[in-house]
């Protein structure tokens, strides 16, 4: 099983920007914890971060046929990007949206969420721990999909 983690704009500044909202952890530290968890669950994981919407769309499209699940923090693009929403929808890969802060308790413009309707689930407001929760969810979804496929194969073999 393979997970792609896609990080949007300004997440490369974690640990520096607005620590009272986003916490003290740097993106590299979050990724190191995710990598450890993935390894302990026999799962491949890759990381990608970009401040550019088109690069995020390209990375989502590159996931088609290559990964089993996407964990995405589209950051500010969550509230504006139809392109990212359409890319997630197009590839048909279970995606879990993560937000470090609780976007529902913040500025009014952050309450518009373009990508949640095309994601399997959303994790918001748990800080950096939200990525761990998203990984647990991704593994569960992938295991359920695999179990259904195995049952279908067994039924067709009979």
Is residue 106 over pLDDT 80? no
Compute how many other C-beta atoms are within 10 angstroms of the C-beta atom of residue 20.
7
Q: Is 22 in the active site?
A: yes
CA dihedral 97, 103, 107, 108 (to 10 degrees): 70
Give CA–CA dist 130/132, Å, rounded. Answer: 5
Q: How confident is the model at residue 56 (pLDDT cuts 50, 70, 90)?
A: very high
Question: Global pTM?
Answer: 0.92
Residue 77 annotated in active site: no
**Residue 123, strand partner residues:** 98
Of residues 77, 99, 104, 132, which has the active-site annotation?
99
Q: What is the pLDDT of residues 57-83, one digit of tens each?
A: 999 999 999 999 999 999 999 999 999
Q: In 3D, which of 120, 127, 153, 142 has the Cα closest to residue 44?
A: 142
Phi first, then psi: what are they for 86, rounded to 5°?
A: -65, -35
pLDDT at 17: 86
Dist. CA 16–CA 7, nearest whole Å? 16
* The one catalytic residue among 22, 31, 64, 104: 22
Tokens 């693009």, residue?
77
CA dihedral 67, 44, 16, 72 (to 10 degrees): 20
Select from 3.40.50.9100, 3.90.740.10, 3.40.50.2300, 2.60.290.11 the CATH code of 2-157.
Answer: 3.40.50.9100
Average pLDDT over residues 115-130: 96
Q: Mean pLDDT, to the nearest integer, of 116-131?
A: 96
What pLDDT is attached to residue 42?
Answer: 96
CA dist 4 → 32, 56, 66, 126 (Å): 14, 12, 9, 20
What are the boundaries of each domain within the chain? 2-157
């Amino acid at each position: 099983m393979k997970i792609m983690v896609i990080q949007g704009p300004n997440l490369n500044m974690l640990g520096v920007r607005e620590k009272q909202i986003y916490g003290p952890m740097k993106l590299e530290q979050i990724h190191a914890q995710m990598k450890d968890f993935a390894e302990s669950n026999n799962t491949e994981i890759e990381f990608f971060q970009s401040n550019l919407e088109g690069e995020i769309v390209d990375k989502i499209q590159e996931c088609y046929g290559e990964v089993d699940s996407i964990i995405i923090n589209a950051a500010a693009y969550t509230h504006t990007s139809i392109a990212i929403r359409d890319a997630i929808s197009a590839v048909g890969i279970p995606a879990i949206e993560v937000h470090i802060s609780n976007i529902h308790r913040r500025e009014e413009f952050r309450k518009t969420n373009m990508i949640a309707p095309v994601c399997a689930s959303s994790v918001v407001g748990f800080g950096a721990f939200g990525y761990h929760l998203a990984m647990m969810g991704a593994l569960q979804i992938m295991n359920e999909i695999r179990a259904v496929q195995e049952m279908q194969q067994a039924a067709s073999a009979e």
